[in-house]
């Protein structure tokens, strides 16, 4: 796959995500402890078996820690504390293993759903440019259900990037793709993270994902 250009509509400012002295407990039992700084463009990989706390960590980062869990620690994004910031105000994008596209919206509608308010003409121009840069030119009005799995994964990525996040979380984002498509999609995602200098945290069971991220790997047990 050829290298993709930077998507101009997304945030390209250098940023950092700092997890300061985090301890997450479940019923008084320590589930995990972390003290990490992720610079813009770096990808921290979290690996571990089911029940080790990977998903719980993502929940805490997005401000949605489930009932029954408690946490101590602080979270900083670009030097600002967002520990107590509401989930929808954190400017943290999340890419799941499923695209989770709205079937009743077009490709363009799905991407624009999370974009900041702007003139409709400019918004459509940004979407068309972004689609072209990831090999999806001319698909603005297609139904997401008519797309292949790889195409849907790219639309999901654009929806996250054009929402202009300041950090991004990856929750097993490539696990449902076949081997070749997994490699190509992974390359695209990692390229965009580095080009936009977004600090990223990836949860995965796959060692090849962790190796491709070329960052620090933390194993939870």
Q: What order do you get walking across the sheet with 43-47 strand by strand?
A: 92-95, 167-171, 200-203, 43-47, 217-219
Alpha carbons 161 and 130: distance in angstroms, whole number: 9
Q: Mention every residue, 6+ apart, whose C-beta is less than 8 A from residue 148.
A: none
- The percentage of residues in the chain with a pLDDT greater than 90, rounded to a whole number, is 81
* pLDDT value of residue 52: 86
- The whole-angstrom separation of Cα 215 and Cα 168 is 15
For the chain, give every domain's residue range: 14-91+166-221, 103-164
Burial of residue 181 (CB within 10 Å: 0-12, 13-18, 19+) is middle
The pLDDT of residue 14: 55
How many other CB atoms sit within 10 Å of the CB of residue 20?
Answer: 14
* pTM for this entry: 0.89
- C-alpha 46/C-alpha 219 separation (Å) is 6
- Residue 13: what pLDDT? 45
Write down the mean pLDDT value for the chain: 91
Paired sense of beta strands 43-47 and 217-219, if any:
parallel
Strands 80-81 and 69-77: antiparallel
Between CA 35 and CA 14 the distance in angstroms is 21
pLDDT band at 27 (very low <50, low <70, confident <90, very high): confident
Please, are residues 137 and 89 in contact by the beta-carbon 8 Å criterion?
A: no
pLDDT for residue 54 is more than 80: yes
Mean pLDDT lowest among 2-16, 24-38, 110-124:
2-16
CATH fold, domain 14-91+166-221, is Rossmann fold (3.40.50)
């Amino acid at each position: 796959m050829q290298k993709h250009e930077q998507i101009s509509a997304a945030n390209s400012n250098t940023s950092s995500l700092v997890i300061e002295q985090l301890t997450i407990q479940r019923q008084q039992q320590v589930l995990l402890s972390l003290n990490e700084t992720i610079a813009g463009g770096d990808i921290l990989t979290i690996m571990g078996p089911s029940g080790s706390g990977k998903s719980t960590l993502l929940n805490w980062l997005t401000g949605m820690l489930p009932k029954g869990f408690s946490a101590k620690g602080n979270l900083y994004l670009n030097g600002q504390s967002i520990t107590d910031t509401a989930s929808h105000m954190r400017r943290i994008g999340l890419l799941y293993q499923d695209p989770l596209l709205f079937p009743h919206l077009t490709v363009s509608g799905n991407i624009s759903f999370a974009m900041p308010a702007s003139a409709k003409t400019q918004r459509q121009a940004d979407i068309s440019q972004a689609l072209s840069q990831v090999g999806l030119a001319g698909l603005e009005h297609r139904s997401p259900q008519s797309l292949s799995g790889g195409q849907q994964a790219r639309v999901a990525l654009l929806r996250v990037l054009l929402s202009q996040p300041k950090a991004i979380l990856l929750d097993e984002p490539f696990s449902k793709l076949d081997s070749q498509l997994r490699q190509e999609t992974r390359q695209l995602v990692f390229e965009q993270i580095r080009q936009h200098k977004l600090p990223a945290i990836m949860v995965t069971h796959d060692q090849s994902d962790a190796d491709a991220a070329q960052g620090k790997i933390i194993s939870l047990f």
